[in-house]
Structure 1
Amino acid sequence: MVYSIRATAAAVVLLARCSSASILEFPVTFRNTYACVDILVGTPPQNHILVFDTGSATSWIADKTCANGGCDNFSGYPWKGYDANSSVTSKDLGIYDSIDYLGGGTGGEAYSDKFSKDGLTWTQTFISANQTSMGFIAGEGFLGLAFSSIAEQATKTVMETLMQDGLVDNPRFGLYYGTEFNDTHGHPGKGLLTLGGSHESKYVDGDITWVPGKKDNGVYELWRSNLKTFYGQRKDNNGNPQTNGSLQYELGAANGVFDTGAGLIYVPDDTIDTIYDSIGWNYTALLHGDYIPSCTDFNSTWSVTFTFESDKGSDFTNITLTGDQLRIPGFAYQPDACNPPFSTSGSPYLFLLGQLYLRNFYSIFDFGGKKAEDFNVLIGFGNLKKEWRMI
């Protein structure tokens, strides 16, 4: 009788743990400009450092052989590989998957295993990568945060796994990058990735600007929205604003994709000259090394504005960044020179808005529902309170 009572009590506690929802907090560590988070994988759990990526869906971790020299690693950081044989909860799904990225590719066997964070454990599908050309990344793999509609065979994104298993409070995640974007020297900085919730009351000054997500082939694939207009503006010698280089698109033609896995702001190839002209720079001179932009050239006298479809129907939403918000020191190995903020995306209608864009806001990625058939996607951007802005 005592055993039955104890067993029943234990079952009740276990059920409560399994059915209660959570918010998972991932402090952000920067390693050579790559924003990473720590997560425990396997049984017994082993810590892995992954680059979080809203531009891809399937998570992957370099396997033991890949991490121990089987794959090129020129990131400057050691990789600890996933060892399926050392985890009693690992399961080989019997499928070889591969992922193509703009900057390379990764392939390996699909697995499921236990992932753990903040005391919560769940079964997650991912790729145990035995080959990758992503040797430049400072993490041991990617934490995919796009949509499972583009996930590799037999895998699902971390967020959709958590949502559909009822393990998180809300169908959204929030992101604050912090104030140090190069290297936080082996420990987390101020940045925070929150799965299952968001902290706009803590970080945001004023209201959130929302833009609606955009479906492709009837489903959400990436965190993207319709982009209507882009223009640059700079002040003349009298301090009067001059608008130059406006780009106009039919609604639905151009995409703004919000991608934490990208570093800069990438624009359609045929617009790059116009975009630099709009802020008073010459792209050809940049390419040939005839102009090395000083960090003092990144100031509030010029700005760029992106106009997105609004969440309010027929209206449009302008989001503006000033030059001083786009400063990345260290261009051409010179501490007082800053990286050109725009590069080409390789697509005639793709604006890829990476870390350089996102770090200026508190960002909210809201699914609008926990199941794919209920998704009604919104992406929110909040201006940061003064104490959370970059120095």
Structure 2
Amino acid sequence: MHLFPAAVLTITLISSCAARVLNFPVNAASRSRTHFHRGQPQQRLHAPVRLRALSRQDGNRKHVRAKASTIDIELQNLNNTVYYGSINVGTPGQQLNVAFDTGSSATWIFSERCLSSPDCHMHRKYNNASSTTLKNKLVRFAFEYFTGSLSGVWVEDSISVGGLTVENQTFGLATVNDGVYENVDIDGMIGLGFLKMFGGKEPNLFDNMVGQGLLQNPVFSFYFNRKDSDDPSSRLTLGGTNPDLYTGDFTFVDLTAQNRWQFEGDWVQLNDGEVIFSKYGFQAVVESDNDMIVGPYEDVSDLNMKLGATLLSENGYLYVYEINCDSIDSLPDVEFIVDGKKLALSSKDYIVKRNGRCLSAFAGKKNSTVKRHQLWILGTPFMRGFYTQFDKGNGRIGFAKAKHLNK
């Protein structure tokens, strides 16, 4: 994502976050990001920046607000495509549903003034006139997505997540919407990426949680369940991890870019040990609001052929594959080798059911490389298999086996 300090901010967030209830598989393909494919990976972070709690002034007294250990936020599963939770915005708080996205840093919600397009009507909207703590920054924004676009103004107000209230948080207030979160009960997005908002001046919500002394550790973690199973509820844990939701030890890898949750892996193989691609290493970005696993077209095509999948659709950007639903239980695990360890993804996680069809979560994209390394985008199908820890303080990401109750 690129931010420009201009009177009108245009931000390209080509993203899956504008999630819809899919009626045709090609729409699923069109919702994955491309903006990470344009960038180049930066040097590995050897000395990560550690966030520290900031004190604030209250009259002549200086104090730091009490820090929480960890906070669990329950997330709703929308047909194994997107996961969302509730926040409260303003004073008094107005409850809204938002997606939490590690692939971007911007926070935005729909405004009560978003009345000009049909795509505004079904959403709950923030009434800025009802909040006593709102501040208008008088600068407009425009966000572009594959499924549509939205625009509005930057504002500042309090946002509460899991009982933690961030004061003076900058976010976008969308007044015009064309296709973003169409027919979905989601009213906005919380970005959990690295870049600052509002021309690079304002920290995102999670950084403010740490900076305002609300959390002890700059760490958050996701557990994503399966819609058709007896898994425990999906969770976003702020400030650390929830040991009840994973088994075994974490596999940690350092970040290889300073502006996104990107790491380097070794190769990818089937569970019979056959290396099918990326034998010379790959780069991967983890995105919590992307319902696909996107990789280089040639390798993904080869993988889907070995899985018995056939090409279903392509839209000039992504190639999407379908597989016989009766074969799911007999499919092999797909193993991502990271730091010499196997991260085995089962067919229950990488096969996604849509409208009576079974789709492979592995979608192909042409020209998917960064500095001669193959680039993968690991979305929610990957994160269903692995409890994922995002450690901002140490510049690393960790994976542990998700504790599914019904394997």
Deviations 1:317-351 (A, max 9, x none): 43221223323223xx32xx422221134651231
* Alignment partner of 2:93 out of 42, 45, 48: 45
* Cα displacement (A) at 1:44: 1.2
Instruction: Give the equivalent residue in structure 2 for 1:364.
Output: 389
Matches within 5 A, 1:50-89: 50-66=98-114, 68=115, 70=117, 72=119, 78-89=122-133
Contact map agreement 1:173 1:366 (CA 8 A) in 2? yes
* Cα displacement (A) at 1:262: 0.2
| Structure 2 residue matching 1:296: 3-state secondary structure | helix
Change (3 A) 1:293 1:269: closer
Q: Distance in 1 between matches of 2:406 and 2:379?
A: 16
Instruction: Give the equivalent residue in structure 2 for 1:193.
Output: 236
2:300 counterpart letter in structure 1: I
Q: Distance in 2 between matches of 1:170 and 1:60?
A: 25
* Cα displacement (A) at 1:69: 5.2
1:82 counterpart letter in structure 2: Y
What TM-score comes out, normalization by structure 2 length? 0.73
Instruction: Give the equivalent residue in structure 2 for 1:209.
Output: 251
| Richer in helix (by share) | 1
Give structure 1 stretches of 5+ with no counterpart: 1-10, 234-240, 311-315, 369-375
2:67 counterpart letter in structure 1: A
Q: Distance in 2 between matches of 1:181 and 1:113?
A: 38
Instruction: Give the equivalent residue in structure 1 for 2:209.
Output: 162
Work out whether 1:355 is the aligned partner of 2:380: yes
Matches within 5 A, 1:23-172: 23-32=70-79, 33-66=81-114, 68=115, 70=117, 72=119, 78-123=122-167, 124-132=169-177, 133-136=179-182, 137-149=184-196, 153-172=200-219
Instruction: Give the equivalent residue in structure 2 for 1:260.
Output: 288
Work out whether 1:175 is the aligned partner of 2:222: yes
Aligned length: 334
Determine what percentage of the aligned residue pairs are the same residue. 25
* Alignment partner of 2:66 out of 16, 20, 23: 20
Change (3 A) 1:346 1:114: farther
| Richer in strand (by share) | 2
Deviations 1:267-310 (A, max 9, x none): 12343322212334343xx349xx952333223541222233x3
Q: Distance in 2 between matches of 1:344 and 1:103?
A: 19
Instruction: Give the equivalent residue in structure 1 for 2:358.
Output: 338
Q: Distance in 2 between matches of 1:59 and 1:82?
A: 13
Contact map agreement 1:40 1:116 (CA 8 A) in 2? yes
Contact map agreement 2:82 2:290 (CA 8 A) in 1? no
* Alignment partner of 1:225 out of 250, 263, 270: 263
Q: Distance in 1 between matches of 2:255 and 2:294?
A: 19
2:236 counterpart letter in structure 1: L
Q: Distance in 2 between matches of 1:62 and 1:358?
A: 27
Contact map agreement 1:98 1:152 (CA 8 A) in 2? no
144-153 or 121-130: bigger deviation: 144-153
Work out whether 1:269 is the aligned partner of 2:297: yes
Instruction: Give the equivalent residue in structure 2 for 1:3.
Output: none
Deviations 1:336-388 (A, max 9, x none): x42222113465123111111101122111112xxxxxxx3111111133xx3
Deviations 1:187-241 (A, max 9, x none): x971111112211x222221111122122xxxx21111123322345xxxxxxx3
293-302 or 168-177: bigger deviation: 293-302
Q: Distance in 2 between matches of 1:367 and 1:247?
A: 27
Give structure 2 stretches of 5+ with no counterpart: 1-57, 315-320, 370-374
Contact map agreement 2:197 2:204 (CA 8 A) in 1? no
| Structure 1 residue matching 2:305: 3-state secondary structure | helix
Matches within 5 A, 1:280-319: 280-283=308-311, 286-287=312-313, 293-299=323-329, 301-308=331-338, 310=339, 316-319=340-343
Structure with the bigger RCO (C-alpha within 8 Å, sep 6+) is: 2
Q: Distance in 1 between matches of 2:277 and 2:232?
A: 37
Change (3 A) 1:169 1:209: same
